[in-house]
Chain A
Amino acid sequence: MTVKVRFFARFRELLGTDLITNPNTGTTLLALVKELAGKKKEGYDAIFDEHGNFREFVILMRNGKRVELADAAAVAVADGDEIAVFPPVAGG
């Protein structure tokens, strides 16, 4: 299956724009984002804390719908999904 993962803002600077992936059936949202972010330590550290949990300010969306960070380990991705991962931008 094919899943598109889109990072935004600082995460995009660290990890790239649109990443097309082919995860195995049953891959969870958490596992997929971890795998992609894990390719660059700085990118991984921006999104995950030292325990491997999403940092609390990270926004996660699946096909335009918000996914609670606590549910990311339980939600499996499906073919054609578009996942968005972004931080709140704060400057003014």
Chain B
Amino acid sequence: MLSERELERYKRQILLFGGEGQEKLKKAHIFVAGAGGLGSPISIYLAVAGIGTITIVDMDTVDQTNLNRQILHTDRDIGKKKTVSAIEKLREYNPDITINAIDATIGGDNVADLVGRADGIVDAMDNYPVRYLLNRTALEKKIPLFHGAIRGLYGQATTIIPGKTPCLECIFPKAPPKEVFPVVGVTPGIIGTVQANEVIKYLIQEGTLLTNRLFIWDGMESRAEELCIERNPACPACGAGKATPEKTRKP
């Protein structure tokens, strides 16, 4: 049941989703992998929307070079663990929800436990090896993976539903080389907000999800477009080429 205070807090979105929709958000548990450029707007918007439980994981410390885009963290947080900074801000945004901030490096040995019984995983990572782990965990647990990635003024997003859509390895079978990527804060702002929007729609079961489509944002041209994406029948993660447990990719 929503409290009087919650009914007031969420009044303007209850106009959209009804009390029933708001209850669905309250009952949900969402896992956010990363408290950086994407993780900041994602977790802030999920918190203010009233997602009942948010687990956010990061292993990093706030650095001055993060501050042009990682809006969970401010100048006075430099040197703090990102999880400490994140939980402070998210609690201020919404004291009525549960926030778990876990200081950990996501790896093959802990990813399943970290995700636990979450209803969905939001990809706010900055590298493909960990994204592939999140993808396989989402497939195993049969929960959605809300993918997003950015570089410069360019970003992409898609919603992966196990068994219904291509998985991340169908779309991007090989990781690009690592780099220190250029970025301006508005780009993860745009893509992270698209991801949070997907989570909310998925949970309230309304609207059309970004499934089987890769959303592409070109901020330099101010153009949004999409590419159709398909399952790969031979995908090593979700298709016929699926590895047996002993052959599973090591991180």
Contacts and interface: CB of A to CB of B under 8 A. Distances in A.
A91 interface: yes
Interface stretch (B12-20, B135-143, B151-159, B239-247): B151-159
B1 interface: no
A87 B176 contact: yes
B198 interface: no
A61 interface: yes
A10 interface: yes
Given A9-B151, A84-B227, A90 B174 contact: no
Contact of B154 (A61, A84, A89): A89
A12 interface: yes
**Size band of the interface chain A makes with B:** 20 to 34
A59 interface: yes
Contacts of A65: 230
B174 A57 contact: yes
A8 to B, nearest CB: 6
A64 B166 CA distance: 14
Interface string B165-199: 00000011011111101010000100000000000
Contacts of A40: none
A89 B174 contact: no
A90 B221 contact: no
A80 interface: no
Nearest to A89: B149
B156 A56 contact: no
Nearest to A91: B181
Interface in A7-26: 8-10, 12-13, 17
B38 interface: yes
B248 interface: no
A18 B34 CA distance: 34
B216 interface: yes
A92 B150 contact: yes
Contacts of A61: 227
Contact of A57 (B156, B176, B188): B176
A64 B227 CA distance: 7
Contact of A92 (B39, B152, B174, B228): B39
25 contacts: A9-B151, A9-B154, A10-B151, A10-B152, A12-B154, A12-B218, A13-B152, A13-B220, A56-B174, A57-B174, A59-B171, A61-B227, A87-B176, A88-B149, A89-B151, A90-B126, A90-B181, A91-B37, A91-B149, A91-B181, A91-B183, A92-B36, A92-B38, A92-B127, A92-B149
Top 3 A-B pairs, shortest CB-CB distance: A92-B126, A91-B181, A88-B172
Interface of A: 8-10, 12-13, 17, 56-57, 59, 61, 64-66, 84, 87-92
Interface of B: 34, 36-39, 123-128, 148-152, 154-156, 171-172, 174-179, 181, 183, 188, 216, 218, 220-221, 227-230, 232
Given A12-B154, A17-B221, 7 more contacts: A61-B227, A88-B174, A89-B155, A91-B149, A91-B183, A92-B39, A92-B125
